[in-house]
């Protein structure tokens, strides 16, 4: 029993370090550009740490490996966090992160499957990633493969009707190989989701659509991991995890910033706060 606890503790420490690394690299890449989607990138850093640190099957040296799991980042503006995760586990050199969104880069502001190793779906037009993921999941089922598709959707993105069409399709065909993960960080471009277009209870809506749905804290690495395990145990129903997150999660300064959907690094206060946040994150990464 004690040995099992030690293993779990070691894994948690590994995932915490990876989450800190993803946050550090995301912030530094966006700051180098001068502006970018900090809020939505940081809110999925913990999720990406669990996926790439424990749950997903992939081979960085063979990105096209047929038996790999796929990830579809429908909220494509969070690309910097995804790129940071991919670099952290070896899909490409970390120096690529310094070219984020520059001319000729292989890391555009929104993911492009023709440019970046490890990216299986081009996304950015909100809502469309849901349909892409449903299509990939269908293809994998038809090929009788055991691979999973992880679909990351933003709560503001749920304004798009295409999301609900895709969800209805997933539920009808019981595509349990597509794990829908909704990042409920409660903000979108122009304000809070409640003020822009009230989503009401997303968890209950997904259940009403026919999904086995679990809601967990988006910064609880163990809870996210357990929720994914639970989804994988479901055999006769579509599956969904709702992450209760905060825009800018993991960095207090960005969490408390009102306009934290996209941040400009154009004044001394932001630069100073960012330097302090990076120091704190680097301490967590080394711990």
pLDDT on residue 6: 43
The proportion of the chain whose per-residue pLDDT surpasses 70, expressed as a percent, equals: 97
pLDDT on residue 165: 98
Between CA 38 and CA 255 the distance in angstroms is: 10
Mean pLDDT across the chain: 95
In this predicted structure, the answer to whether residue 8 has a pLDDT above a threshold of 90 is no
**Domains in the chain with CATH codes:** 9-286 (3.40.50.970)
Between CA 144 and CA 203 the distance in angstroms is: 30
In this predicted structure, the answer to whether residue 4 has a pLDDT above a threshold of 80 is no
| Average pLDDT value for residue range 45-63 | 98
pLDDT per position as a tens digit, 226-284? 999 999 999 999 999 999 999 999 999 999 999 999 999 999 999 999 999 999 999 98
pLDDT band at 3 (very low <50, low <70, confident <90, very high): very low
pLDDT on residue 285: 83
- Helix, strand, coil fractions of the chain, as percent rounded to 5: 50, 15, 35
Residue 103 phi, psi (nearest 5): -60, 130
In this predicted structure, the answer to whether residue 1 has a pLDDT above a threshold of 50 is no
In angstroms, the first-to-last Cα distance of the chain is: 25
The proportion of the chain whose per-residue pLDDT surpasses 90, expressed as a percent, equals: 95
pLDDT on residue 225: 96
Radius of gyration of the chain (CA): 18
In this predicted structure, the answer to whether residue 121 has a pLDDT above a threshold of 60 is yes
Q: Which residue shows structure tokens 């989701």?
A: 193
pLDDT on residue 238: 98
pLDDT on residue 2: 43
| Average pLDDT value for residue range 42-52 | 98
Between CA 256 and CA 231 the distance in angstroms is: 32
pLDDT per position as a tens digit, 57-114? 999 999 999 999 999 999 999 999 999 999 999 999 999 999 999 999 999 999 999 9
pLDDT on residue 265: 94
All residues at 6 or more sequence positions from 183 whose CB lies less than 8 Å from its CB, including other chains: 40, 43, 44, 47, 75, 78, 152, 153, 154, 155, 218, 243, 245
pLDDT on residue 18: 97
Between CA 86 and CA 64 the distance in angstroms is: 14
| Average pLDDT value for residue range 132-140 | 98
The structure's pTM equals: 0.96
């Amino acid at each position: 029993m004690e040995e099992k606890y030690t293993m779990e503790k070691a894994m948690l420490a590994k995932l915490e370090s990876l989450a800190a690394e993803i946050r550090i690299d995301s912030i530094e890449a966006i700051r180098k550009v001068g502006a970018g989607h900090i809020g939505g990138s940081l809110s999925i850093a913990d999720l990406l740490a669990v996926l790439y640190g424990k749950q997903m099957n992939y081979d960085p040296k063979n990105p096209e490996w047929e038996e790999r799991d796929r990830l579809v980042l429908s909220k494509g503006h969070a690309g910097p966090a995804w790129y940071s995760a991919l670099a952290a586990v070896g899909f490409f050199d970390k120096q690529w992160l310094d070219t984020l969104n520059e001319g000729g880069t292989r890391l555009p502001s929104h993911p492009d499957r023709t440019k970046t190793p490890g990216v299986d779906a081009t996304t950015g037009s909100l809502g469309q990633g849901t349909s892409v993921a449903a299509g990939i999941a269908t293809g994998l089922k038809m090929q009788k493969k055991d691979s999973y598709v992880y679909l990351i959707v933003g709560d503001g993105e749920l304004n798009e009707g295409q999301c609900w069409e895709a969800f209805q399709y997933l539920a009808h065909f019981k595509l349990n190989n597509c794990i829908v993960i909704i990042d409920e960080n409660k903000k979108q471009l122009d304000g809070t989701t409640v003020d822009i277009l009230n989503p009401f209870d997303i968890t209950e809506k997904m259940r009403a659509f026919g999904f086995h749905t679990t809601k967990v804290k988006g910064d609880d690495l163990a809870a996210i991991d357990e929720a994914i395990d639970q989804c994988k145990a479901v055999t006769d129903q579509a599956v969904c995890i709702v992450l209760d997150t905060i825009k800018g999660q993991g960095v207090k300064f960005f969490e408390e910033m009102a306009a934290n959907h996209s941040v400009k690094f154009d004044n001394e206060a932001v630069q100073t706060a960012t330097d302090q946040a990076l120091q704190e994150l680097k301490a967590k990464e080394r711990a």
